[in-house]
């Protein structure tokens, strides 16, 4: 697949998906790739300001993969922006888009939370008063039309015991057995939050919660590996929290950024192997104190936290939240918050190959 691209070539391959401007800020990317339709779907929050309490809509774009014949460079061509108007409850603001696809029915569930008015997460935690609701809308035509909103809050008794909670953000997954998994985190007190997931074994008709991680953890994503369900979660303890089937893995080796930042993880078929093994790819700001220099990390032994590679930097400078998708044949797409001065200036996409990741991390050993 050629040599590792230069920083300039990487910059040219990035495509702006959502561009922030005055009184219109886009944050919290979520990415889905439909293999059967070969369509990308990108989601984000549309906000009035950078503040979490100013979210007003969930928005989306669809994208198609473009391959330059001369160089085999892959980019995504994006549609015009569309409001997901159905993802809304009156008097509440939608946050944290989290898509999950049910392959048999070809139905995409877009999960999100709705938070009352402009109530902040800090307020809910301080008073122990949950103002968030768990919702989803669905589409079977790549977002051309959406169902009305479904509110699961009263059907799941655990929610009333939480100070607040949120899904993802980022993507969910469907396991090989057909289980749908939506990652979550919940605050059980002012300072204690734990990762868990929502799941359905009947194509999304009924939902229930998994057990919580026993280790303090926050925003998370999950992936199916050969040994079970892998979880990678945000932390305020200096290192990412990793778990397998909701049992924390030790030692902690992936550094966290500052007081924490969301990261993304996907599993994919082991490259060049005929055995049904799966490897992991992880994206996250690589600096220990600031949200800068988005790195791609590789792990060929998912149950071993010590097996993570050094990062290959795919975005130098301000970098925030990200979301990964495996699109097949050793290729990946990433949706990322980035900018020149601040990481919230835009959400951009980039497509890259396993070979590029491997070449990039090898040079750092």
Which residues belong to the active site? 52, 321, 337
| Adjacency order of strands within the sheet including 15-19 | 15-19, 346-353, 331-338, 312-328, 292-299, 278-285, 264-269
DSSP string over 312-351: EEEEEEEEEEEEEEEEETTEEEEEEEE-SS-TTSEEEEEE
Count helices and strands in the chain by DSSP H and E runs: 3, 25
How remote is the C-alpha of 261 from its chain's centroid? 11
Give 278's Cβ-side CA count (13 Å radius).
19
List alpha helices for the chain, DSSP H. 7-13, 121-127, 354-362
How remote is the C-alpha of 121 from its chain's centroid? 19
In angstroms, the Cα distances linking 261 to 35, 217, 238, 353 are: 29, 12, 11, 24
> Which long-range CB contacts under 8 A does 63-67 form with residues at least 24 apart?
63/17, 63/39, 63/349, 64/38, 64/39, 64/40, 65/38, 65/40, 65/327, 65/351
């Amino acid at each position: 697949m050629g040599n590792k691209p230069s920083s300039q070539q990487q910059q040219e391959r990035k495509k702006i998906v959502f561009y922030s401007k005055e009184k219109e800020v886009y944050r919290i990317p979520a990415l889905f790739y439909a293999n059967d339709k070969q369509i990308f779907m990108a989601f984000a929050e549309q906000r009035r300001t950078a503040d979490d309490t100013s979210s007003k809509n969930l928005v989306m774009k669809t994208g198609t993969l473009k391959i330059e014949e001369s160089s085999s460079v892959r980019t995504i061509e994006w549609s015009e922006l569309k409001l997901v108007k159905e993802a809304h409850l009156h008097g509440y603001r939608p946050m944290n888009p989290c898509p999950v696809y049910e392959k048999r029915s070809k139905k995409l569930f877009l999960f999100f939370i709705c938070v009352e008015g402009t109530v902040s997460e800090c307020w809910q935690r301080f008073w122990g008063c949950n103002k968030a609701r768990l919702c989803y809308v669905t589409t079977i035509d790549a977002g051309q039309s959406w169902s009305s909103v479904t509110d699961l809050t009263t059907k799941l008794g655990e929610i009333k015991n939480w100070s607040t909670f949120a899904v993802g953000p980022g993507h969910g997954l469907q396991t090989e057995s057909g289980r749908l998994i939506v990652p979550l985190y919940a605050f059980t007190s002012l300072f204690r939050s734990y990762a868990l997931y929502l799941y359905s074994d009947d194509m999304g008709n009924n939902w229930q919660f998994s057990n919580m991680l026993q280790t303090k953890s926050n925003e998370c994503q999950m992936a199916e590996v050969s040994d079970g369900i892998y979880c990678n979660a945000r932390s305020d303890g200096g290192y990412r929290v990793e778990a397998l089937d909701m049992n924390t893995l030790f030692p902690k080796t992936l550094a966290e950024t500052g007081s924490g930042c969301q990261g993304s993880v996907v599993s994919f078929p082991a490259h060049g192997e005929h055995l049904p093994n799966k490897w992991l790819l992880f994206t996250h700001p690589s600096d220990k104190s600031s949200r800068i220099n988005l790195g791609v990390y590789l792990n060929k032994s998912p149950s071993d936290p010590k097996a993570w590679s050094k990062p290959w930097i795919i975005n130098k400078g301000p970098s925030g939240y990200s979301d990964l998708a495996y699109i097949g044949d050793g290729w990946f797409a990433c949706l990322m918050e980035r900018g020149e001065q601040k990481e919230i200036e835009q959400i951009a996409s980039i497509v890259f190959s396993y070979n590029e990741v491997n070449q990039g991390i090898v040079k750092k050993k």
